[in-house]
Amino acid sequence: MKEVGRCGRKAIGDEIWPQTGLAYLAAMVEGEDHTARVIDAMAEPLTLEDLEKECHNWRPDMIIANSATPTIRNDVAVLDHLSRASGVMWGLVGPHASALPEETLRESAASFVLVDEAEETVADLVWRLADLMRVAESEGPHTPYVVERVTAALSGIKGMVWRLPDHFAPTAGEGAPPEQGPRPAFSSAKIVVNPPRPLIANLNELPLPARHLLPNHAYRMPFFANRPFATVIPCRGCPWPCAFCRAGKVWGRRVRLRSVENVLGEVEILQRGFGIRHIVFMTDSLTLDRDWARGLFAGMRDLRPPLEWICNSRVDAVDADTLGLMKDAGCRLVSYGVESASPDILSRSRKGISIEQSERAIRLTRQAGILSMAYFIFGLPGETAETVEESIRFARRLDPDYVNFHVATPFPGTDLYEEALERGWLTSRDWEDYEEEGSAVLRAGELSPEELVQAQARAMRAFYMRPRRLIKELAQLRGWSDFRAKMRAGLRILSTLKRGKSPPSASETR
């Protein structure tokens, strides 16, 4: 599998992220009294031959893969090979296939795409397919009655885009499909777009992820000195309309919160059942509802043994009291999307924050004794050589503990992607180029993709290669294992960004 910096894949900083989304789907399958497995070929490196053996040995009825934009073609090729070798049907979940379901089916041999929030959809699919298999065993797989049942059953699954099996689709002049043949194969003959599925109203009703199916020992990141960690999704939904993000479209604009008790129950299972002491809360809305957040932090504070955890937040969604509670509850780092030092770029991107709010959030986080990370994006609409330099200077002035400079990537499903298509800003439709580090596919300002990649590498050097910054990092080390983990991550980042080498800018020499 290809390594890219997206959650659920191995990232350039040497993290290996848990496949929590697939574990949720697996829990839904098990809830329908069927057997599920999760094979994570990133966490436990497997070759194509290894995967083929797994399919032959286990003989699944269906494979569902989670795929992101830069890995979609590689993943499709792998799954197509497995399908041809074993005859198993397969489908996709994930942001890319959800944003472009019909295109994904036309360009692959996938049988279906489960769009966006897929837990209830996969449960519906498994239940209906099991019922159809019972009918087919008694009636015969290609009788007109079974054909009608298949079409009606699959058409009734909200949130799914699928294609009619070849053997279920009569050709011109024929009234019925052939009576005999191999297991139905899927083609591009007819793609059916079912109605969307409503978002899950009560997240407490979802079963907890089937973590017993994950290689939990293999999920590690340098920040935790390569100790095992887990991701927890405490809420879904994003009310902010940032042009470069599709979270609000996937999870809805209304934030849906799991109860504090439900989240703490999952955390205690991780702690006691799996021996996991490090957690990443996967949401940008952790501190949006202050009362709920404070209840969560109070519960986290009382856990024994104590946990260490990190999270994302927004610079306009934290205050001194909340950060103090987070520190007491074991929070070690908060990441913020600062994005740019240009108010115009922030406005055009609909980020909804100010420079002053970023300064305040980093300052309050530091005062609370929590580490901070600031994310910037180069290449958003309106970017110029001067705004790039302003952002580099701003990052150095903010002086968070960590910083990352992404290149603006118009992922399908975002408003930025739609605007880029309309205005002709895309320089590549090769999905493998749609990565945020060391690659650029967008020209939405005066800078070329090559210049943006160079700016990214220059900015990383300007921030991290300062003597004061290096001394600070050494002072924060917590032992030899921490040193080795961060050194390895740093070398990977430098290797990824080496294509962006260029002469130092004015901001680097200050």
In this structure, whether the domain defined by 216-509 belongs to CATH 3.80.30.20 is answered with yes
Q: What is the pLDDT of residue 494?
A: 56
Token pair belonging to 188: 């591009």
**Residue 439 vs residue 313, higher pLDDT:** 313
Compute the distance between CA of residue 17 and CA of residue 3 in angstroms, rounded to an integer: 11
Mean pLDDT of the chain: 85
Q: What is the largest CA-CA distance in the chain?
A: 79
Question: Tokens 């996991």 correspond to what residue?
Answer: 276
DSSP state string for 166-224 = GGGSPPTT-SS--S--SSPPEEEEEEEEPPPPPPPS-GGGSPPP-GGGS-GGG-B-GGG
Percent of the chain with pLDDT over 70: 81
Contacts of the segment 189-193: beta carbons below 8 A, 24+ positions apart: 189/163, 189/164, 190/163, 190/164, 191/102, 191/105, 191/106, 191/161, 191/162, 191/163, 192/154, 192/155, 192/161, 192/162, 192/163, 192/164, 193/101, 193/102, 193/161
Residue bearing the bigger pLDDT, 359 or 61: 359
Q: pLDDT-derived band of residue 56, with 50, 70 and 90 as boundaries?
A: confident
Is pLDDT above 90 for 299? yes
Residues 322 and 294: beta-carbon distance below 8 Å: yes
Task: For residue 241, give both structure tokens.
Answer: 């309309």
Nearest CA among 308, 314, 315, 363 for reference residue 331: 308
Higher-pLDDT residue of 137 and 18 is 18
Q: Which of 16-25, 242-251, 306-315, 352-361 has the lowest mean pLDDT?
A: 242-251
The span from the CA of 259 to the CA of 265, in Å, is: 10
Greater pLDDT, 179 or 106: 106
- At residue 216, the pLDDT reads 95
- What pLDDT digit, counting tens, does each position of 361-384 carry? 999 999 999 999 999 999 999 999
pLDDT, residue 433, reads: 92
Whether residue 449 is preceded by a cis peptide bond, meaning omega within 30 degrees of 0, is no
Task: Enumerate the β-bridge partners of residue 193.
Answer: 161
Top mean-pLDDT range of 128-142, 235-249, 342-356: 342-356
Mean pLDDT in residue range 493-507: 46
pLDDT per residue as tens digits for the range 158-169 = 999 998 765 444
pLDDT at 109 over 70: yes
Which residue's entry shows tokens 């493998």?
Answer: 432
What integer is the mean pLDDT of 450-461?
A: 93
Q: What is the pLDDT of residue 252?
A: 86
Q: 89-93 and 112-114 as β-strands: parallel, antiparallel, unpaired?
A: parallel
Q: What is the structure's pLDDT at 138?
A: 60
Half-sphere exposure of 134 (CA within 13 A, CB side): 5
Mean pLDDT of 71-99: 90
For the ranges 50-54, 184-188, 264-268, which has the lowest average pLDDT?
A: 184-188
CA distance 342 to 393: 12
Report the 10 Å Cβ neighbour count for 510: 10
- Beta-carbon contacts of 272 under 8 Å, excluding residues fewer than 6 positions away, are none
| Contact (CB, 8 A) for 224 and 260 | no
User: What average pLDDT does this structure show over 141-149?
Assistant: 60
Q: Which one-letter DSSP state was computed for residue 377?
A: E
Where are the chain's structural domains? 20-193, 216-509
d(CA 18, CA 42): 10
The closest alpha carbon to 463, from 393, 381, 410, belongs to 393
What separation in angstroms does the CA of 272 have from each of 266, 269, 459?
Answer: 10, 5, 42
CATH class (in words) of the domain with range 20-193: alpha beta
Helical segments of 280-428, H only: 290-301, 320-328, 343-348, 355-367, 385-398, 415-423
**Count of all residues that appear for the chain in the document:** 510
First to last CA, the chain: 42
pTM for this predicted structure: 0.86
Task: Please name every residue paired with 114 in a beta bridge, in sequence order, or none if there are none.
Answer: 160
pLDDT band for position 504 (cuts 50, 70, 90): very low
At residue 91, does pLDDT exceed 70? Answer: yes
Least confident span in 177-181, 218-222, 372-376, 428-432: 177-181
- pLDDT-based confidence at residue 133 (cuts at 50, 70, 90): confident
Instruction: Please state the separation of Cα 43 from the chain's center in Å.
Output: 15
Residue 134, pLDDT score: 72
pLDDT score, position 144: 60
Q: 228, 217 in Cβ contact below 8 A?
A: yes
Whether 184 has a pLDDT exceeding 50, the answer reads no
Neighbouring residues of 213: CB distance < 8 A, sequence distance ≥ 6? 23, 26, 36, 37, 38
